[in-house]
Amino acid sequence: NEQWGMVGDVFVVGCELPESCVYPEFNELNSDMSDSRYNTELGIYKEHCGLDNLTLAWGHDEYLYQVLKHHKDNLIPEAGMVMIRYHSFYPWHSGGSYTSLLCAKDKEYLNWIRDFNKYDLYTKSNKTYDLDEIKDYYLPIANKYLGTGPIFW
């Protein structure tokens, strides 16, 4: 199935939209692209400031990342949190864009994301599962990394 829209793909706000974004022919319709503060390679950022210092378009990744980051019992390792936060940042990890904004740590992030993405996009199945059948397998994993208390969404 061909992807026909941006859906969950994210990009950096505050700098030039790269050609590696889905449907780059629409980049020019973004009013930021005619604003000299935002339409350059670096935009509002300092060179090599690192991914963690960028503002990305809001999406499901950032939402879950923020929920888990603020969850008092979160024990998900750094690599897991990076995968959650950046796995839909396709212009970077698949398109090779934003290199002037990356720092040394981001190279490690890229390896984690590329490993994870083998199991992400276009690997989903239409099969549905009975919660009672899979709960005994997944609940100990969730409890190990998220505790047994509530998660505030």
Residue with tokens 């603020």: 70
Enumerate residues 6+ apart whose C-beta is below 8 A from 49.
101, 103
pLDDT at residue 84, as a whole number: 94
* pLDDT per position as a tens digit, 10-64: 999 999 999 999 888 888 888 999 999 999 999 999 999 999 999 999 888 999 9
Does residue 3 carry a pLDDT above 80?
no
Q: What is the 3-class SS of 3-42, one letter each residue?
A: CCCCCCCCCECCCCCCCCCCCHHHHHHCHHHHCCCCCCCC
Whose CA is closest to 13, among 106, 23, 31?
A: 31
pLDDT-above-90 percentage for the chain? 70
- Can you read off the two tokens belonging to residue 33? 């692209």
Burial string for 30-52 (b: 16+ CB within 10 Å, else e) reads beeeeeeebbeeebebeeeeebe
Work out the mean pLDDT of the chain and round it to a whole number. 91
